[in-house]
Structure formats: structure tokens, C-alpha cells
Amino acid sequence: MKAVNSRSFAARTSREVLPNGIRLLVLENRANPTVSISGYLLAGAYFNPPDKYLLSRLTADMLSKGTAQRSKLEIAEALESIGAHISFSSNTFTVSISTQSLSKDFSTVLRSLAEELREPSFPADELDKLKQRLIASIKHNQEETRLRAIERLTQVIYPPNNPFYQPPADHLISEVEATTPDDVKQFYQHRYGAASLILVVVGDVDTAEVHRLVVETLGDWQGAPASPINLPETPLQAEPRRELVYLRDKANVDVVIGHASRLRRANPDYLAAIIANRALGQSTLSSRLGLKVRDELGLTYGINSFYADSGLGDGPYLITVTVAPTNVERAIEATRQIVEEYIAGGIREEELKDEQSSIIGSFKVGLATNAGMASQLASAELHNLGVSHLDNFPDLIMALTKPEVDAAITKYLHPECATTVIAGTYA
């Protein structure tokens, strides 16, 4: 039996920047006859024109709806008949790309991906169908207590021109209704291009062959130049607020407590902030919040805290807890106490050790699959951390000290000016 490959990611991964700017990373892993691609383009919600929130998403979703060469159905038929997937999803700053296929079908998938990126035809009838489905799913989401609570919270924290702001559903629906094929084409022409494209290929492939295929299919693509991201940091609210979102017939209430995080991946204390949060609320079963509010008081099935979108921008910091309507106030009070105790006392030495060991272990476990490796490599590339970040990560974590983590707790956790949103059958 072949031993586990112990060579570093830096030694095993090939990284190349093509003349048109595409950053291509390839990692061979022969364990299973499959291949995953993970990638990014800078074409997410941040780049939407003023007062548009879903144009980036409609554009990303339209990529698979037909090209200059083939109809939506022809593309789908080709991929589905080999059990392969290509998906595009629009995020705050990026459009993320992911594919899964058997290795024998890799070239079919890469050619389709290139065709969808380079030659989308944005057929009007397909846009219309997509718009109708999107409107229905916006309505559907209005039933979800958790989504409604987060939506309201972002409206309190962020100004409407910030990409983390989520407008009310009626605004979104009128925006979608008004979107034309020209809007989508223009967004595509201004935002999609090789210059911001990152592609990471991991699996049962030959590096030279992948390189050759990428050059052949995407090597002469130019498209739009990369646009810079320049988003000012969102300050904390001056005061705490409390908001209710009433929904009928809900047995469960979602409570979300949050504030602007002021944390991005590029912050030098990013990892300290991540560890600071983990001890508080990473795990509903074993973090401080879970031990109190779930394990001891039995108030909830789930309580977690997390930086919701701290990457290229400073998304919100959130504590989410689900409770029966009768337990809302007790859960909020217990949560407040735990957070205040944590801020006052800081992380315990043994908690720090456990969280260091935990995040390193979970990082390793996450790298067990092609998709896991591809996604970590793509993320490292997006944030300019380099492939070696995957090798250095354990050392960076082990180097963190209690004073550093305590400083991050003080800097990033601010219950005194957090907004609490309660969504459900609760008044």
C-alpha cells in the first residue's frame, strides 16, 4: 500500500500565472479517479451598480443557461450524461466556481467551463425563467426565521450601498423584475475577465496536461480587466438595538445578535480573532455559549458565534441561537452573561491550547478530499497567502499567545453596541 504523501503542499502544487493573468494551481492526487476544480472571479455583489443587489447573482446564474455554441439543455445534457457538475455562485466579492467530475471526463468539464465563462449568450427566455424562479425563492426565504433575522440585522448595521446590506424582499423583487438581458450583458462585460480568474485543479490528473488544456481553452481569453476593491471599514453602532421581525405560525424563534466585525482576512490579527471566537461559540456542543445555553440550561438546539463573511471585506460578527418563544429572554440574557464573562476574563490557557489543537486538526481533516484541498488552495490564492500557507498554518496557529488572543477578544467583541433581532411568532 502506498504511504500517505508527506511532501509539503508547496512542493506538490504547481502554480503558474498565464500571460492573460489567470492564476492556475494544480495538485495531483491519484487516490480516487476524480477531479475537483475550485476557483474565483472578482464579479460578486460588491461590483453591482448602485441600488442593484442581485445583478451579480443573476449574471453568475446565467452562465450555465446557454452559450454562443450550445443551448442550456445541450450543456446540461453533456454534463449530466457523465455525472459531472459545474456550479457558479455569486458571493459578496467573488463568483466562486466549483466542478466535480471523474478524471476521465476532465477535459469535457474544463471545455464546458471555459465556454460558459467566455461565451455566455444570456438568452432572454432563460433570463425570464430564472427571474421568475428567483422571485419565488425570495418569497420562500421570507418564511425562514433565521434568514429574516440576519436580513434585518444587516439593514441596521450597514448602509444600503454596502455589499453586506440585504434589502427588503419587495425591493429585491422589483429589482429582479426590472432586470433586462442588457443589464446582465453589461455586468458581464465589465466584470468577467481572465485577469481576476483563479483556477485550482486537484485530483487524478497530470499537471502538464491540465496546463495544456487550460492554455488551449482559456489562454487567449481577455474579457474585463480586474477591478480594485476599495470598501471602507464599517464602524460599530453607537448603541445597542433590539428589533422584532414577526412571522406567523412559527414554533421556533431565531435570535441573532451581531455587529460590524471590523475583521478582514488581511488583518494581522485575523488568526487570533478566529481563535478568540472559537472558544466562545464555534461548537454548539463544546464552546462556552453551547455549554451554558444548550448543555446546562437546555434552552436551544443550536447556538453559535462566527464571523459571517470576514474575507475581502468586514462582514458581520454574529451570535445565532434558536429557541422556543417562551425561552427568548432567558437565552438572550444567558448569552449576554457568557460573552461579558469571556471579555472580562479572556481565554483560559487550556482553552487556547485546545482551540489551537482543534483548528489544526480540523484543517487537516478538511484537506482529506480533492474538493477540500482545492477550496483551501483557492482561498489562499485569493487572499495572496501563497500555497505554503497550507504548510505553515499549524505553526502560525501554535505561535499565538494568550495576550494576542485576549487583545483580539477586546478588539473584536462588542456586545455593548450589538443589535439583537428576534424573528418568529414573538412580540
Partner 1 sequence: MADAFTKITDYEGIQEYRLDCNQMKVLLAPRRAAPVVAFMVVYRVGSRNEAVGHTGATHLLEHLMFKGTPTFNKHAGRQIAATLQKYGAVFNADTWNDRTRYYEMLPSDQLELAIHLEADRMRNSFIADEDRQAEMTVVRNELERGENDPGRILDERLWAAAFREHPYHHPTIGWRSDVEGVPTWRLKEFYDTYYHPNNATAIVAGDFEEHTALTLIAKHFGKIPASPHPIPLIYTVEPPQEGEIRFILRRAGQLGIIEIGWHTPQARHPDTPVLAVLDMILSAGVTSRLYQALVETQMAISVDTQAYQFLDPGLFTLTAVLRPGIKHAEAEAAALEEIEKLKTEEVSDRELQKAKNIITAQLIYLRDSPFGVVSAMAEAEAVADWKFYVDLPKKIEQVTAADIRRVVIQYFTADNRTVGYFIPKEEE
DSSP-derived pairing of the beta strands 303-307 and 316-323: antiparallel
Q: Where are the extended beta strands (E) located within 94-197?
A: 95-102
- Confirm if 259 and 154 have CB atoms less than 8 A apart: no
List the one residue from 13, 29, 67, 234 that touches partner 1 (CB under 8 A).
Answer: 29
Cell reading at 182: 442588457
> Residue 286's CB: how many other CB atoms inside 10 A?
13
Residues 61, 227: Cα–Cα separation, whole Å? 21
Residue 300 is a binding residue for partner 1 (CB under 8 A) = yes
List the one residue from 13, 96, 112, 145 that touches partner 1 (CB under 8 A).
Answer: 145
Residue 330 is a binding residue for partner 1 (CB under 8 A) = no
Residue 11 is a binding residue for partner 1 (CB under 8 A) = no
Segment 73-102, which members bind partner 1 (CB under 8 A)? 73, 76-77, 79-84, 100-102
List the one residue from 31, 124, 396, 399 that touches partner 1 (CB under 8 A).
Answer: 31
- Confirm if 59 and 116 have CB atoms less than 8 A apart: no
Residue 285 is a binding residue for partner 1 (CB under 8 A) = yes
SS3 166: coil
Residue 136 is a binding residue for partner 1 (CB under 8 A) = yes
Residue 137 is a binding residue for partner 1 (CB under 8 A) = yes
Residues 422, 415: Cα–Cα separation, whole Å? 16
Closer residue to partner 1 (CB): 187 or 393: 393
Q: What is the DSSP string of 24-81?
A: EEEEE-TTSSEEEEEEEES-SGGGSPTT-SSHHHHHHHHTTSBBSS-BHHHHHHHHHT
Segment 200-259, which members bind partner 1 (CB under 8 A)? 247-252
What x-and-dash track marks residues 362-391 binding partner 1 by CB under 8 A? xxxx-xxxxx--------------------
Residue 142 is a binding residue for partner 1 (CB under 8 A) = yes
Element (H, E) at 246: strand 241-246
Applying CB under 8 A, which part among 28-36, 208-216, 261-269, 375-383 lies near partner 1?
28-36
Closer residue to partner 1 (CB): 18 or 332: 332
List the one residue from 20, 121, 358, 392 that touches partner 1 (CB under 8 A).
Answer: 358
List the one residue from 11, 51, 129, 208 that touches partner 1 (CB under 8 A).
Answer: 129
Half-sphere exposure of 293 (CA within 13 A, CB side): 34
Q: How far is the CB of 375 from partner 1 (least distance, A)?
A: 13
Residue 396 is a binding residue for partner 1 (CB under 8 A) = no
Under rule CB under 8 A, how many of the chain's residues touch partner 1?
73
Give residues with Cβ within 8 angstroms of 119, minimum separation 6: 67, 68, 69
Q: How far is the CB of 359 from partner 1 (least distance, A)?
A: 7
Closer residue to partner 1 (CB): 186 or 369: 369
Cell reading at 83: 455525472
Residue closest to 152 by CA, chosen among 138, 163, 164, 168: 168
